[in-house]
């Protein structure tokens, strides 16, 4: 069966199959339709890609997180492709129905309310089952709040971790942030209007007031705002203007400069020595800092000497 979009007669799907203890690539010919995972705008409807429009026009069916929501986008694009609802609470039966249609050769586009499907959005079970059934799954990439924020945050992008939404209860949220406090990668979180202040407050508890972060609010929309600075300044910014607490948020926290509690302790002790040195000789400053922080005296003395020689 010819694919409506790529015009190929059959699709070649490459799989990895264990063979005598090794992984060997082999090709199978699939006569199924294709599942297209299509990114849609995260606010500004002009951010739809040409390929997304073409795909949504040409597929047999669109599986949408919320059909009423997506109708607005499709109407604007003058696309009349039939839609079916697909969300996190879709039954196994409903997912199987989409798989059956794909296996009958239909092409289906998966979209979510905004951005890239599966990124804190529904679609995982469908994509995973489609792959199990060797149905071709093709990305139609485009907007996502993660990449939009990361591209403008001015924080390191060479290594980052997407943490999605933090838990809604403060105790669980603090526990999650505690696990992340020495992660040296940039950390990306999604947050809603209801919890933006409490989440930043909990970040201050776990990451400290001086950790740098970026907050992207309402990206690509009319009231887009960006914050760059320390966690404590961010809290002041949010609390001093209720309007800044409204909308959708991406938070990117700079990675930790120290990789362990031991290193953190040493760094805190070193800062203290530097302050004490304004009034005291080195030996006394180190002894006092060691007593107050619990850092090992000899190691601290050496580090403090090295720091002063720099």
Stretch that binds ligand SAM, among 77-85, 112-120, 180-188, 300-308 (CB under 6 A): 112-120
Q: In what order do the strands lie in the sheet with 225-230?
A: 160-165, 186-192, 248-253, 212-217, 225-230
Q: How far apart are CA 238 and CA 307, in angstroms?
A: 37
CB of 48 to ligand SAM, least distance (A): 14
Rg (C-alpha) for the chain, rounded Å, is: 26
**Largest separation between any pair of C-alpha atoms in the chain:** 84
Interface with ligand SAM, residue 102, by CB under 6 A: no
Interface with ligand SAM, residue 123, by CB under 6 A: no
- β-bridge pairing 83-85 and 186-192: unpaired
Stretch that binds ligand SAM, among 4-12, 80-88, 218-226, 269-277 (CB under 6 A): 218-226
Stretch that binds ligand SAM, among 55-63, 89-97, 217-225, 296-304 (CB under 6 A): 217-225
Interface with ligand SAM, residue 151, by CB under 6 A: no
Q: Write down how long the chain is.
A: 310
Interface with ligand SAM, residue 244, by CB under 6 A: no
DSSP helix/strand/coil, 248: strand
Interface with ligand SAM, residue 121, by CB under 6 A: yes
Contacts of 93 (CB under 8 A, 6+ apart): none
CA 275 to chain centre: 39
Q: How far apart are CA 273 and CA 289, in angstroms?
A: 6
Interface with ligand SAM, residue 249, by CB under 6 A: yes
Query: Are residues 251 and 191 in contact, defined by beta-carbon separation less than 8 angstroms?
Result: yes
Interface with ligand SAM, residue 304, by CB under 6 A: no
CB of 47 to ligand SAM, least distance (A): 10
Interface with ligand SAM, residue 34, by CB under 6 A: no
Query: Are residues 77 and 53 in contact, defined by beta-carbon separation less than 8 angstroms?
Result: yes
Stretch that binds ligand SAM, among 115-123, 126-134, 152-160, 300-308 (CB under 6 A): 115-123
- β-bridge pairing 248-253 and 212-217: antiparallel
Residue number, 102 or 215, with CB nearest to ligand SAM: 215
CA 228 to chain centre: 18
Q: How far apart are CA 103 and CA 123, in angstroms?
A: 18
Interface with ligand SAM, residue 220, by CB under 6 A: yes
CB of 42 to ligand SAM, least distance (A): 4
Tell me which of 35, 56, 191, 202 binds ligand SAM, using CB under 6 A: 191
Tell me which of 30, 90, 107, 144 binds ligand SAM, using CB under 6 A: 144
Tell me which of 33, 123, 142, 216 binds ligand SAM, using CB under 6 A: 216
Contacts with ligand SAM, residue ranges (CB under 6 A)? 42-43, 112, 114-116, 119-121, 144-146, 190-192, 216, 218-221, 248-250
């Amino acid at each position: 069966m010819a694919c409506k979009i790529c015009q190929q007669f059959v699709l070649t799907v490459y799989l990895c199959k264990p063979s005598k203890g090794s992984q060997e690539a082999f090709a199978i010919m699939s006569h199924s339709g294709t599942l297209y995972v299509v990114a849609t705008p995260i606010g500004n409807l002009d951010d739809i890609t040409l390929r997304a429009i073409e795909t949504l026009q040409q597929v047999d069916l669109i599986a949408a997180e919320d059909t009423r929501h997506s109708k607005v986008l499709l109407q604007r694009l003058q696309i009349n492709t039939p839609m079916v609802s697909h969300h996190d609470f879709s039954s196994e039966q409903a997912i199987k129905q989409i798989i059956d249609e794909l296996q009958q050769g239909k092409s289906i586009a998966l979209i979510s309310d905004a951005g890239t499907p599966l990124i804190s959005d529904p679609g995982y079970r469908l994509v995973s089952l489609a792959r199990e059934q060797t149905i071709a799954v093709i990305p139609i990439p485009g907007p996502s709040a993660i990449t939009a924020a990361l591209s403008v945050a001015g924080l390191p992008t060479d290594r980052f971790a997407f943490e999605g939404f933090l838990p809604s209860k403060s105790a669980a949220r603090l526990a999650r942030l505690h696990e992340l406090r020495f992660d040296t990668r940039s950390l990306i979180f999604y947050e809603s209007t209801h919890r933006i202040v409490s989440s930043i407050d909990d970040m201050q508890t776990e990451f400290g007031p001086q950790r740098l972060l970026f907050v992207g609010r309402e990206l690509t929309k009319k009231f887009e705002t960006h914050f760059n600075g320390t966690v404590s300044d961010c809290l002041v910014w949010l609390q001093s203007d209720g309007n800044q607490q409204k909308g959708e948020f991406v938070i990117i926290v700079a990675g930790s400069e120290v990789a362990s509690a031991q290193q953190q302790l040493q760094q805190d002790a070193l800062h203290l020595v530097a302050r004490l040195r304004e009034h005291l000789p080195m030996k006394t400053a180190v002894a006092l800092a060691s007593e107050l922080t619990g850092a090992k005296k000899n190691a601290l003395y050496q580090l403090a000497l090295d720091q002063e020689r720099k």
